[in-house]
């Protein structure tokens, strides 16, 4: 796999890069960003994945996330994939919550979308292999987080791959696509009307069906305009309570859905992941 | 003076706002951003001014600056003005280094520009009065910093107003408009060909002419593509050495001119300012 460097900037003593490669999973070029802290030659570092939300590219968190100081302090590589396949020949939808920038981290099976929309394979298989080969990444020490649609992605990727991630957290996640308009639209569009097929892409359903994580940290703003209609954090709390899943789900007073919220707590999440990534 | 709230977001426990007002200095609407940390009712907080560089609006540092955690920690209000007058009836230039987003913090006297381009009066007089009236700002505890054209602004505003700022720093400043193409173009355009009139807008000339600051902190990246041709940091070092002006001018290895550089050190600058703003 060949990696093309879009940009590399010195930042917080390390290197913030943006890279492009031809993806077999999506059949398109894909762009992602990686921050590698300063480190001694030959040393490998734990990896924290960050999956982004609707309308985003990797640029949003890379520019606004305020994660680099904490990643430099703790010696953690930070990887941010894109949110969908891109390109003129990739099908799209007029709405902002489906199609481009709204891949929902699924493998689409509906014919209109199944040629390119394989974001599950991309973030679960192809990109990790590329990261392992091209960066000083210690792949048995991985954590994952994400925002909104990317929070949904972080939770479901981790729940479906037991043992891969030592730590899982999320910001304002869509906790149950089965139970919100964004999810119903995306799952119907990419997967079709059979709701049983959606369960592997639904954090609450995965927990109900027996998947478990060692621990879970979720932050959700109380002033988030999507909380009541789309995110429904309480469903995750209820699923965790019912299943005995260890989880710290924090309602953060006055915070909204924006990067002003994420950037207020992402450094703390990095520290939380670091505790779990750097132990024995 | 009436303030219109563009947006207010909870961030790092405080409020990041963007505001608009009708400016008498520029004869236009002007937009600026203010971060106010969480504080007890009735308490006033020191103010750190941040002047932005060419092509920027207040959004650049507000979104990418990574200053809020440090401002929240130290209890410092952060104010970011715009870089020029704006609006359809404001004259502009086809180039990106003159006209809109390139006000250079001067009061223009050339007829083509003198109606609106009064950024010196705006940042020295009008906006401070507005900030003092509308925010819990302790105006006898002010510091100032800025980037590139805004570093030039921070240095010259502070040097011309002895005693107003307890602390002054800059990132990648244009240290001598008399001695670089950006400066020669802007000063000629706004002020005319008489170079003696430029000296009050030239940090090195102001120091040569006797202006002094209690202390000065400057960070400059060694990989900054504008260093040799435009910024010429060594001229400031020489002027400070010749005048006995206390200054810490740091060449930061590998850093460029971008916000990846600024955001790597802005929190440290906030701490440096805090030491000087919060003492007796």
The tens place of each residue's pLDDT in chain A, 280 residues long, gives 689 999 999 999 999 999 999 999 999 999 999 999 999 999 999 999 999 999 999 999 999 999 999 999 999 999 999 999 999 999 999 999 999 999 999 999 999 999 999 999 999 999 999 999 999 999 999 999 999 999 999 999 999 999 999 999 999 999 999 999 999 999 999 999 999 999 999 999 999 999 999 999 999 999 999 999 999 999 999 999 999 999 999 999 999 999 999 999 999 999 999 999 987 6
Residue A229 gets which letter from DSSP?
A: I
DSSP string, A26-64: TSSEEEEEEEE----TT--EEEEEEE--TT--HHHHHHH
Contact check, Cβ <8 Å, B10/A255: yes
Q: How far, in Å, CA of B247 to CA of A152, rounded? A: 50
A224 catalytic? Reply is yes
Secondary structure class of A147 (helix, strand, coil): strand
| H or E element at residue B198 | none
Integer angstrom CA distances of residue B237 from A120, B173, B193, B206: 54, 12, 27, 13
At residue A279, the pLDDT reads 77
Q: Could you tell me what percent of chain B has a pLDDT over 70?
A: 99
Residue pair B79/B131 in contact by the 8 Å Cβ criterion:
yes
pLDDT in tens, A168-194: 999 999 999 999 999 999 999 999 999
B interface with A, Cβ–Cβ < 8 A, is 9-13, 16, 63-64, 66, 68-69, 221, 223, 254-256, 258-261, 263-264, 267
What would you measure as the largest C-alpha separation in chain B, in angstroms?
Answer: 52
Q: Which two tokens stand for residue A195?
A: 């709701």
Which of B44, B229, B230, B269 lies closest to B146 in space, CA to CA?
B269
- Cα separation, B221 vs B171, in Å, equals 9
Q: What is the DSSP string of A231-258?
A: I-HHHHHHHHHHHT---EEEEETT--SS
C-beta neighbour count of A273 within 10 angstroms: 30
ipTM above 0.90, yes or no: yes
The CA distance from B87 to B28, in Å, is: 7
Nearest to B10 among A9, A223, A259 (CB): A223
End-to-end CA distance of chain A: 32
Given CA atoms B200, B201, B204, B207 in this order, what sign does their dihedral have?
positive
What is the pTM assigned to this prediction? 0.97
Distance between CA atoms of residues B248 and A192, nearest Å: 64
Residues of chain A found within 8 Å of residue B172, distances taken between Cβ atoms? none
In the set B74, B116, B257, B273, the catalytic residue is B257
Cα–Cα distance between A191 and A99 in angstroms, integer?
Answer: 13
From chain A, the residues in CB contact with B63 under 8 A are 63-64, 259
Of A213, A221, A233, the residue nearest A273 (C-alpha) = A213
Q: Which of B171, B160, B132, B167 is nearest to B34 (CA)?
A: B132
Q: DSSP class of residue A118?
A: B
Cβ–Cβ below 8 Å for B10 and A68: no
CA pair distance B71, B137, nearest whole angstrom: 13
């Amino acid at each position: 796999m060949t990696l093309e460097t879009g940009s590399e900037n010195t930042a917080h003593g390390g290197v913030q890069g943006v890279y492009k490669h031809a993806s077999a999973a999506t059949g398109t070029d894909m762009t992602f960003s990686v921050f590698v802290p300063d480190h001694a030659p030959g040393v490998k570092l734990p990896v924290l994945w960050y999956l982004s939300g609707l309308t985003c590219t990797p640029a949003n968190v890379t520019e606004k996330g305020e994660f680099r100081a904490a990643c430099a302090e703790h010696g953690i590589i930070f990887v941010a994939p894109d949110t969908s396949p891109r390109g003129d020949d990739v099908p799209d939808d007029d709405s902002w919550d489906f199609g481009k920038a709204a891949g929902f981290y699924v493998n689409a099976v509906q014919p209109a979308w199944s040629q390119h929309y394989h974001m599950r394979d991309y973030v679960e298989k192809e990109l990790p292999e590329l990261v392992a080969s091209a960066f000083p990444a210690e792949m048995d020490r991985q954590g994952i987080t994400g925002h909104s649609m990317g929070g949904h992605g972080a939770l479901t990727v981790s729940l479906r791959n037991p043992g891969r991630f030592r730590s899982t957290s999320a910001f304002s996640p869509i906790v149950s696509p089965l139970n919100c308009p964004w999810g119903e639209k995306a799952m119907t569009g990419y997967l079709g009307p059979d709701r049983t097929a959606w369960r592997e892409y639904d954090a609450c359903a995965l927990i109900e069906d027996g998947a478990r994580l060692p621990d879970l940290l979720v932050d959700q703003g109380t002033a988030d305009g999507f909380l009541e209609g789309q995110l429904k954090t309480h469903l995750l709390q209820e699923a965790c309570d019912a299943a005995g899943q260890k989880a710290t789900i924090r309602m953060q007073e006055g915070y909204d859905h924006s990067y002003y919220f994420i950037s207020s707590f992402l450094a703390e999440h990095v520290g939380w992941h670091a505790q779990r990534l750097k132990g024995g």
